[in-house]
Structure 1
């Protein structure tokens, strides 16, 4: 993608969705951290289904710990890898209580020190909860960035760093939401819906797909 096309690319995405946000459901920073931790290799829809049952019962580190592993598993067993995620979540809750006064830390280093929290999860929390201009590269962002030519890279970190260089500062805080939603609903994995795409004119992908006949 040409440098001159990047600003109108994001301006078009913004015009279509001025205030994008995560599709994970949460009402506190801890709930967001929990939902993102549970979302690895799972869909937001599936995570929301589980947390709608979990959060009314336990939505703080103290309450999650009080459930214990087996009871926590009962609430999240519909999510893939739920046993290991339950273990990580319980360990994370202990660390939050012992080292952070029960609060979710605001630094990347402290977040990535939590069990089950990698760079992508830390970036989501920093961006969504604290408004920092981070780029959480999931499969959708990785695909869109490479397919469009916006920020090609061989791995998520390369794509993340390229996006941080190429996305105009005015769009950086919301950019990862726009790219995720674009990848989830338009620039889909198997066959992009180019005929529905508002930013197709700026995209390097060829040949553009046509609507089914």
Structure 2
């Protein structure tokens, strides 16, 4: 996708949704970090259901450590891999207390040192909580980057690096939200809904998916 088409691609997505946001519910950088860690291989809807009651009383690393691993499991047992995630959340909370005064750092390298936090999770936290221009490549963005020709790459990191080079201002801060939402609701994995896509004419995907029969 050339520069002009890339600009128009994001311009249309921005016009349709001027203020994109994560669908995960959070109240501060710490609860966002926990929610993103829990969202691995799980839906945002499922995570929100599990954390609704949790975040009403547990919204700091100290409170999470006090709750304990078993207590956390009672809240998140409906989420996939909840045993491992509970262990990681308690461990990262303890590390935040020990090394960062209980404050979530606005630094990718420091975030990636926390248990259960990889590059994608760090990028989400940096973007959403700290307004940094990062590109968190999940399965939706990886698919769209390759399918549309926007940022083709064989790995999530390759797609991220191409987005870093190609996404223009003023769209960089919201770019990964627009792509995630577009992949979640329009450019779906099994059957992209090309017939109602506002950027279909810019997309390199062929053949376009026709509208379902009435």
Residue 60 of structure 2 aligns with which residue? 60
* Superposition deviation, residue 2 in structure 1: 2.5
Q: Does 1:198 align with 2:198?
A: yes
Please say if 1:91 is aligned against 2:95: no
Q: What root-mean-square deviation, in Å, do the aligned CA atoms of Structure 1 and Structure 2 show?
A: 0.7
TM-score after normalising by structure 2: 0.98
| 1:57 CA displacement | 2.5
Moved more, 177-186 or 3-12: 3-12
Give matches, 1:172-191, under 5 Å.
172-191=172-191
What is the aligned length?
A: 213
The Cα shift of 1:67 comes to 1.1
- Paired residue for 2:81? 81
- Structure 2, unmatched stretches of 5+, are none
Q: Compute the displacement of 1:169 (Å).
A: 2.6
Residue number in structure 1 paired with 2:29: 29
The farther-off stretch of 179-188 and 1-10 is 1-10
The farther-off stretch of 109-118 and 1-10 is: 1-10
Q: What is the CA–CA distance in structure 2 between the aligned matches of 1:127 and 1:67, rounded to whole Å?
A: 28
Structure 1 residues without counterparts, runs of 5 or longer: none
Stretch moving more, 124-133 or 53-62: 53-62
Q: Distance in 2 between matches of 1:4 and 1:15?
A: 16
For residues 109 and 2 of structure 1, the distance between their equivalents in structure 2, rounded to whole angstroms, comes to 32
How many Å separate the matches in 2 of 1:55 and 1:102? Answer: 16
The residue aligned with 2:211 is 211
For residues 24-77 of structure 1, the C-alpha deviation after alignment (integer angstroms, 9 at most, x for no partner) is 001111010010010000000000000002111211111111111111100000
Distance 1:110 1:2 in 2: 35
Cα distance in structure 2, aligned partners of 1:133 and 1:193: 28
TM-score of the pair, normalised by structure 1: 0.99
The match for 1:5 is 5
2:156 is aligned to: 156
The 5-angstrom pairing of residues 82-161 of structure 1 reads 82-161=82-161
Following superposition, the deviation at residue 3 of structure 1 comes to 2.5
Q: 1 CA distance for matches of 2:35 and 2:5?
A: 35
After TM superposition, which residue ranges in structure 1, 4 or more long, deviate above 3 angstroms? none
* Secondary structure of residue in 2 paired with 1:56: helix
1:165 partner SS: helix
